[in-house]
Structure 1
Amino acid sequence: MSSPVDLPLVRGGASRERADAARNRRKVLAAAATLFAERGVGAVSMDDLAAAAGVGKGTLYRRFGDKSGLAAALLDERESELQAAMMSGPPPLGPGAPPTERVAAFVEAYLAFLDAHLDVVEMSQTASRGARLRTGSHRLWRQHLSVLLAAAGAPDPDLRAGALLAALTAEQVRHWRHDEGRSLPELTAALVGLARAAAAG
């Protein structure tokens, strides 16, 4: 079983909000999640988002700047939920399970996260060359996997962690899911198998 490792959650600024502002933020992010999933980021306008959330368009621009800022806020919130489950949720994703099981659980959970937010994640990962490697969340995912792989006895755990994450880029997952037509269960089984092999050494 892996030793407990304290890793900080990577979140955006956590300033206090008025109750109505916080409520509007939740409504906007919920509307964005629904519309982005249904239509894709490119097909959703700020007008669409304002109407679906029941807020004025000016509220969206003041709070998020533009659609990319809104997408980043949505992604930050969803990533924080995954990070919290990974750090303090129930096993096997959270602490308390053998390291190989935690690696497999992370790959399954992260793939599900990607599949649900593919457009938004792809936009963040391809904003500039090497963008995905510079995010705080990517560093956390890699550190988490590296620690677990080392605890499982895998050689060169940092390289293996990077290789697993390279297989889990939004672009690669989109290719498998939409170009090759692989189902999510099929892809999950294959990548979880790859994760177990990486942990086995």
Structure 2
Amino acid sequence: MRELPVVGRPPAERADAAHNRRRILRAAADLIADRGPEAVSMDEVARAAGVGVGTVYRRFGDRARLVFAVIDDREREFQAAFLQGPPPLGPGAAPRDRLRAFLHALADRTEEQADLLLMAESDPPEARFREGSYHLYHRHLVMLLGRIRPDADTAYLADALLAPLAANLFLHQRRTRGMSLDRIKAGLDALAEGLIG
């Protein structure tokens, strides 16, 4: 029996196509982590994934789309974790605990793909604020902050908490200033406590 398509959902993938997609994304993510997005070619990704280069081009079109697919793949995992995962990041924990867990998890997520996120956020310069994930993060923080401080300007505070996690500032702190990820997380804790305490 054939499954009917659901409106608004992408068409179902064949099992082999889904398997190839996962292999390509995993290979691309590994190569990008090792050498940076600018140094990775479609040919290298195909070789590392064990597929033909035509498969990579048919699936993703060009290197830029492949890079964005790598970002999107990781982003979906992160969103599922804070929307539906176990507490304290997911539902079920106190709002303060969820806020801290979210900021720490977002710092980890930024650390994993900082170079890719910088590329995505920089073209054009306001791209970060047009992207759907920023709006989702913002709404999530507004909801948490509203439970902690219902009298506060939660929209402003949410932007203030997200600002330090812009890829350009994050990379400056990590690479130019030599800050550890733990130091950045401690700074986010102090900032959050100052805003909501």
Same fold (TM over 0.5): yes
Which residue in the other structure is 2:44 paired with? 48
Aligned: 1:25 with 2:45: no
**Partner SS, residue 93 of structure 1:** coil
Deviation of the 1:192 alpha carbon: 2.5
Alignment of 1:1-201 (within 5 A): 14-153=10-149, 155-200=152-197
- Per the TM alignment, residue 194 of structure 1 is displaced from its structure 2 partner at its CA by 1.5
Q: SS in structure 2 opposite 1:96?
A: coil
- 1:113 and 1:123 mapped to 2: Cα distance? 15
Q: How many Å separate the matches in 2 of 1:198 and 1:119?
A: 29
Task: Tell me by how many angstroms 1:78 deviates.
Answer: 0.9
Gapped runs of 5+ residues in structure 1? 1-11
Relative contact order higher in (CA < 8 Å, ≥ 6 apart):
1
Q: Which runs of 5+ in 2 are unaligned?
A: 1-7
TM normalised by structure 1 equals 0.90
Residue 44 of structure 1 and its aligned partner are, at CA, apart by 1.1
- In structure 2, give the amino acid aligned to 1:197: G
RMSD: 1.4
How many Å separate the matches in 2 of 1:199 and 1:37?
36
Corresponding residue for residue 5 of structure 2: none
Q: State the TM-score, normalized to the length of structure 2.
A: 0.91
Computing the radius of gyration from Cα coordinates, the structure with the larger value is: 2
Count of matched residue positions in the alignment of Structure 1 and Structure 2:
189
CA distance in 2, matches of 1:13, 1:61: 23
